[in-house]
Amino acid sequence: MIYGLIAVGYTMVYGIIGMINFAHGDIFMVGAFLSMIALLGLAALGITWVPLALALTLLFAAAITALYGWTVERVAYRPLRGSFRLAPLISAIGMSITLQNYVQVSQGARVKPIEAVIPGGIQVMNQGGFTVELSWMQIAIVATTLAILAVFTWLVKRTPLGRTMRACEQDLKMASLLGIDTDRTISLTFVIGAALAAVAGLMFLLYYGVIDFYIGFIAGIKAFTAAVLGGIGSLPGAVLGGLLIGLIEVFWSAYFSVEYKDVAAFSILIIVLIFMPTGILGRAEVEKV
């Protein structure tokens, strides 16, 4: 589900401008660090009631991370929008490296642990001494992801902002000629994607309890794989792809060698793309002439 939330940011940006934001994984990493800073700051101020602390942390992390997403669009994409297609890609990779090194220098290279904020859970099965438990944190991650997917599906399909996004997706130049502020729409898409990455960063921090400056690279590549697997350009496809990548990793680690779980995930992606190039829920692009 965390992969799916990050993948939603990838698929939204691709749907609007037809390009992959390879700095998005590091935006997720920045969101995780901002969440940790907010949690530690609230604890120092004596705000320890978990629901209030998490709500304030989420607002803070999402707002600041959204500014990072807006900055990436203004610095790495907007000046190069009319250039050849490789230029924004190279620029986005440069922003990714910049964010990694910025966090490494400002926060240090060592891993940053925190104590469990939402402990406990419910017992699903206990058979022959084998116990299966579902933690409250896992339930919260699933519920949050599904709620966000429902909200953003409604936003894209039912609101004026969603209509402008769909218009820009269909034909950016024609949308501009019809009076839509395409620059504003693209910036808002980056901002929304970055805010979602901040939510994923907070959940990653709460679930694993440890982060470092390099988590954005691995998670970003996996989320990009999830977006392609589910059908890039489809919001439900992004979440479905994230769920499938996570399940592939878990089952491969349980029954085979954990060292090769990444190989398994990417191999499944290759197989899917051979037989379904548009992904599971993607649709073929029709070029109008």
Q: Which pLDDT does position 195 carry in this prediction?
A: 92
Per-residue tokens: 240: 């479905």
Evaluate whether residue 67 is within a structural domain.
yes
CATH number for the domain spanning 50: value is 1.10.3470
pLDDT at 99: 93
**Could you tell me the two tokens for 1?**
């589900």
32 Cβ partners below 8 Å, 6+ apart?
A: 201, 202, 204, 205, 211, 215
Does a structural domain hold residue 280?
A: no
Res 233: pLDDT? 76
How far, in Å, CA of 250 to CA of 244, rounded? 10
Q: What is the pLDDT of residue 30?
A: 95
Q: What is the pLDDT along the chain (289 residues), one digit of tens a residue?
A: 899 889 888 888 887 777 778 889 999 999 999 999 999 999 999 888 888 999 999 999 999 999 999 999 998 888 887 777 788 888 888 999 999 999 999 998 899 988 888 888 888 888 777 888 888 898 988 998 889 888 888 888 888 988 998 888 888 888 888 888 988 998 999 999 899 999 999 999 999 999 999 899 888 888 888 888 888 778 888 889 999 999 988 888 888 888 888 888 888 878 877 888 788 877 666 555 5
Residue 288 domain-assigned? Answer: no
Tokens of 144: 């949050």
* Domain boundaries, position 265: 2-120+130-275
Separation between Cα atoms, residue 120 and residue 137, nearest integer Å: 8
Question: Considering its fold, how many domains does the chain have in total?
Answer: 1
**Residue 139 in domain:** yes
29: how many CB neighbours lie within 10 A of its CB? 28
Question: How many CA within 13 A on the CB side of residue 32?
Answer: 33
Has residue 237 been placed in a domain? yes
pLDDT, residue 287, reads 55
Indicate the SS3 state at residue 102: helix
The count of other CB atoms within 10 Å of the CB of residue 62 is 22
pLDDT given at position 285: 60
Q: Where are the alpha helices (DSSP H) in the chain?
A: 2-17, 24-44, 50-72, 86-107, 136-158, 160-170, 172-177, 182-208, 215-230, 235-255, 261-275
Cα–Cα distance for residue pair 252/272, rounded to 1 Å: 17
For residues 182 and 165, give the distance between their C-alpha atoms in angstroms, rounded to a whole number: 9
- Say if 62 falls within a structural domain: yes
In this structure, is residue 90 part of a structural domain? yes
User: What's the length of the chain?
Assistant: 289
Instruction: Please report the pLDDT score of residue 69 as a whole number.
Output: 92
Assess if residue 282 is contained within a domain.
no
pLDDT for 283: 67
